[in-house]
Amino acid sequence: MLKAVILTLNEERHIAACIDSLRWTDGIVVLDSFSSDKTAELAQKAGAEIIQHRFENYSQQRNVALENVDSEWIFFLDADERATPALGDEIRHVIAHQDKAGWWVPRHNYIFGHRMRGAGWWPDHQLRLLHRDRAHYDPNRAVHEEAILDGEAGYLTQPFIHYNYETLQQFIAKQRKYTDFDAAILLQKGVRPKFYTPYTQIPRHFWWRFVTLGGWRDGLHGILLSGLMSYYEMRKYQRVRKIQQVAIRN
């Protein structure tokens, strides 16, 4: 009735602990993108079923899981995330007693060793529990994938845990990648920023994260992360303007 799916690429450090946190499900499937480390070997040793599929984008990987995993309900978890027994009990209860197409799950994010309480990282609801026959992912969203449901979604109260960025270098590398993805989405939507737009994003975005989203609750972590995210918001719009200017010149 309920299986967990873990998307992986070279996650030998995390995979065993992630699988152990999902023992309350009826089965665990690791959808691996042909890892070059011991991810698949360790997952199989831990009792998980292995499906290997070449990575195209996150939406496509999740759609592959929905098409190939034989289960009424699928709970998606990333390798650096952990479920809890309390979350397992709540999931079992709602899928048995409520008619929903999917469920949003709150997520605790640990960034630089600190559990975030604001700045957009809490409650950070993720649509991860899906009725297999009533959900699919938008193939046009290569990152920040978005599930489309045939029906209503509910909200769970028990969180899962995300051991997010551990170092500043890891954070910067990931944000650079996201900047390119997000710029492509803005271009696809036809957004045409003015010359000043990238720079107005800094105070606007900082205020949104630190004040509106409660980043102040995290003290120095809140200031640092609100500032970093504001910087990469600026870089995103700079990227869009640069691509548009090159297109005009050509």
| Residues 72-101: b if buried by 16+ CB within 10 A, e if exposed | ebbbbbbbbbbbeeebbebbeebbeeeebb
> In this structure, are 176 and 84 located in the same domain?
no
Low-confidence ranges of the chain (pLDDT < 70): 142-143
Q: 32 - beta bridge partners?
A: 8, 52
User: What pLDDT shows up at residue 56?
Assistant: 87
Tally of structural domains, the chain: 2
Q: What is the CATH number of the domain that holds 104?
A: 3.90.550.10
- Give the residue from 109, 131, 163 where a domain finishes: 163
Q: How many residues are present in the chain?
A: 250
Range of the domain at 32: 2-163
- Give the residue from 121, 136, 163 where a domain finishes: 163
User: What pLDDT shows up at residue 142?
Assistant: 66
> In this structure, are 102 and 173 located in the same domain?
no
> In this structure, are 177 and 157 located in the same domain?
no
- Give the residue from 117, 139, 163 where a domain finishes: 163
> In this structure, are 139 and 185 located in the same domain?
no
User: What pLDDT shows up at residue 127?
Assistant: 97
> In this structure, are 58 and 25 located in the same domain?
yes
